[in-house]
Structure 1
């Protein structure tokens, strides 16, 4: 029999493992018990993994619509290429924010120099759904280096604000809707209050053990808080977690493969376009991921 959730929790998600081509991820969103948290409609933990010399990540060109992809790393490096001509390595503490809008194609690979040496990869890729009035925006890509993201250090806490405004610090990352996203590192015994300013809030535990009101949570858990409750997270051991959420979306979202939309017909049209080769290609790439047969 499943134990009841604590009063401050709306949902607890234990992510499931998925293979994305010789590389395993843990998928926390979407889940059976929770489809979105604020605008976040997808959340994958990549690694931690260690690539042998000559091996690496190879996610071939694939399409997106109706969302923005957000890539944030703790270890390693990924080389992003897209159909706008962007070529951008991302390293720990940076953020890549790619707005798909009406359609974009991109690849995510380990660059040749990093591949030759081998090494670790550990990070998060999330998708934020675009508001209905922004789903057909022109595609765009922006990169923010770690030095441009505000960091708060106090009382055993180190917090990097990736998007939105939290604890008095504002990220330079522009978002299409109210969004909060932060990387929190706590020493053992340190505490972080998460106020109820935003209606939808969650943390995703990455390393170490945290406690909330005496309840203990291990790594790899998505804790979705009830609206209106002020919650304090305390590190029982040195710990790292994400804080994410924002305003509720303006209606449900349909998710099929890499496509997100408020209108199922937009997804059907995107399927037809990808099958017909009508999406723009990634310069310098000849491979692509075919449309799934499902």
Structure 2
């Protein structure tokens, strides 16, 4: 999705914690047009967790006939987007010529590198019936030496994403290595992304990563003395060895990886260099970014 303003940070409530959890970020719903999002990263208190710099929980949004996702072409540089749906479908198009429906359980990885343009809409036949959209979109920073690589697009259907059980807990390892399995999804730095479903009373030891956080997409979990309510991001203390216990039936996302150098965020641009972001702003304003084949007429203007 495109960031609707030039400021990526969204208002949240924070709680400094002790023990296993260092910081608890409780998100607030924000309407961005015909659906709502909850943004956990970046915030004033925490910019990144490992290479993850942007974390949006989209919906759930129920669309009537004739309405739906309609995100016009917009640009990115020096990052990679990761889209994952629980329900619904999004049609991805980009300036490389990629045309790919994203369906529940798939991983859609778009590497912006030196620059890419993409749109997120729906196939016309889908808009003829009521439907629901629900999912996550995350941004990864690229290592400084990879920020200007050629743009690329990778799509991984749900069938190739490893699924397993650990202590009775259903897991999917979307990116990186955890619980003895490795995802086929391409990474550029040490990266972790795991989805877990827990029933009340079930416990799960979190995998190791230099930086680690847990997002509660549904339900509530506990880590030691800290309650992690629904729609919250709990940033784990370094080396804490966190064990979660489900308070209710829940779906969680575990994200993390290696600590990265400082990044700047402006609208849809992320870079280790402020001057690169200014160049990207001018390039979009002047029309220097490549167009999306089959979606050349519209675009999202640069926020002033």
Into which bin does the TM-score normalised by the smaller protein fall? over 0.9
Tell me how large the CA RMSD over aligned residues is. 1.3
2:32 alignment partner in structure 1: 20
TM-score, length basis structure 1: 0.96
Aligned mates of 2:302, 2:127 — CA distance in 1: 28
- Alignment check: 8 A CA contact 1:21 1:58 kept: no
For the 8 Å contact 1:56–1:118, the answer to whether it is kept is: no
Measure how far apart 1:66 and its partner are. 0.6
Between 1:121-130 and 1:215-224, the stretch displaced more is 215-224
Q: Secondary structure at the match of 1:266?
A: helix
Structure 1 runs, 4 residues or longer, greater than 4 Å off: none
1:68 to 55, 70, 80: 80
CA offset at residue 171 of structure 1?
Answer: 0.2
Indicate the residue corresponding to 1:235 in structure 2: 246
Distance 1:16 1:214 in 2: 23
State the distance in 1 between where 2:243 and 2:229 align: 16
Instruction: Note if contact 2:77-2:270 (Cα within 8 Å) is conserved in structure 1.
Output: yes
1:211 equivalent in alignment to 2:222: yes
1:49 to 48, 52, 61: 61
What is aligned with 2:278? Answer: 268
1:104 aligns with 2:116: yes
CA distance in structure 2 between the aligned counterparts of 1:183 and 1:56, rounded to whole angstroms: 26
Where 1:33 maps in the other structure, the secondary structure is coil
Q: Deviations over 1:177-211 (max 9, x none)?
A: 0000011111222111014x311000000111211
> Is 1:198 paired with 2:209?
yes
Count of aligned pairs: 290
2:45 equivalent to 1:33: yes
Could you tell me which runs of 5 or more consecutive residues in structure 2 were left unpaired when the two chains were aligned: 1-13
Deviation string, structure 1 residues 122-159 (Cα, Å, up to 9, x no partner)? 10000000010000000000000011010012443111
Structure 1 gaps of 5+ residues are none
Q: How does 1:83-122 map to 2 (within 5 A)?
A: 83-122=95-134
With 60-69 and 209-218 compared, the bigger mean Cα shift is at 209-218
CA contact (8 A) 1:156 1:187 kept: no
Measured after TM superposition, the shift of residue 42 of structure 1 is 0.4
